[in-house]
Amino acid sequence: MRTFCNIITDGMLDYLVAIYELSETHDRISTSVLAQKMDVSSAAASSMAKRLTETGHVVRSTRTGIQLTAQGRQAALQLLRRHRLLEVFLIEVMGFTWDQVKAEAMRLEHAISAEFEKRMEVLCNFPTHCPHGDPVPSEDGRILSENLVSLADLEPGQSGELRRVANHNAPMLRYLSQMNLIPGYRVRVLNVEPFDGPTIVQVEDSSPQDDPGGLVKIIGRSLAKCLFVKLTEQPAA
């Protein structure tokens, strides 16, 4: 049986991953949205979408836009699995920081072998999530679904564990590290300013005895939209 890398090119795989990621936040993926995601012209995105349609990896229509087929989704998840395992490996074994691993993983994800991928997984003790909180797909294409809520949607009194950072922009990740806004930390919303104002939160380590009071942070709305929380407590009625 041929592997996905023998079926389509690396560039086509990158597009499939982009479509998968866009499908998590968009009901309909247009050519212009895909072009913006890939930082290419609309003509280039349209040409690639046509090519992926011909190979059976996507379907397109005016009503539903660009959608992955089962074959396209499987190929996208295989590459995402490799990328996210690389991110964990680069931090745990190579000593990179979480703001550095995305670029490094993108350089390596098309080059490593399936055996290298398996050994990374074993060496890193079968990680379930990448350093940014995204789930690592299983080898057969299953992916963990979590009920997470954007910090921007929380109300005063709600709290939970920060589980995922949706934006992997390196300067933003460095800023989040300085703020202790990283997966594993707990946050409690103290106040939300009106008129699209900032969210004021108390941030605590996963070990409350080490940080009993927590730190109060002011988070702009655009940043809060990138942070996803597993709720652990609802405000009193």
Do residues 156 and 233 lie in contact, with contact meaning Cβ atoms separated by under 8 Å?
A: no
Structure tokens at 83: 């990328």
Residue with tokens 């000593």: 95
Burial tier of 198 (Cβ tally within 10 Å: 0-12, 13-18, 19+):
middle
Q: Chunked in runs of 10, what are the mean pLDDT values of the chain (237 residues)?
A: 58 96 92 95 95 95 93 95 97 95 95 95 96 94 89 94 93 93 94 92 71 78 95 64
Do residues 188 and 214 lie in contact, with contact meaning Cβ atoms separated by under 8 Å?
A: yes
Helical (H) or strand (E) element with 203 = strand 199-204
Sign of the C-alpha dihedral computed for residues 219, 169, 134 and 101 taken in this order: negative
Nearest Cα residue to 131 out of 108, 154, 163, 172: 163
Residues 6+ apart with CB under 8 A from 79: 4, 13, 14, 16, 17, 109
What is the pLDDT at residue 5?
41
Nearest Cα residue to 110 out of 130, 80, 139: 80
Q: Residue 63 is which amino acid?
A: R
CB atoms within 10 A of CB 65: 21
Sign of the C-alpha dihedral computed for residues 191, 145, 65 and 165 taken in this order: positive
What is the pLDDT at residue 233?
58
Going through 112-155 in order, the beta strands assigned E by DSSP cover 149-150
What is the pLDDT at residue 3?
42
Kindly list the structural domains of the chain, giving each domain's residue range(s) and its CATH number in brackets, ordered by start: 4-72 (1.10.10.10), 149-233 (2.30.30.90)
Do residues 102 and 170 lie in contact, with contact meaning Cβ atoms separated by under 8 Å?
A: yes
d(CA 123, CA 24): 30
What is the pLDDT at residue 6?
43
The model's pTM = 0.86
Burial tier of 193 (Cβ tally within 10 Å: 0-12, 13-18, 19+):
exposed
What is the pLDDT at residue 1?
33
Structure tokens at 232: 């652990």
Burial tier of 166 (Cβ tally within 10 Å: 0-12, 13-18, 19+):
middle
Structure tokens at 109: 């994800």
Structure tokens at 1: 């049986």
Residues 6+ apart with CB under 8 A from 144: 128, 135
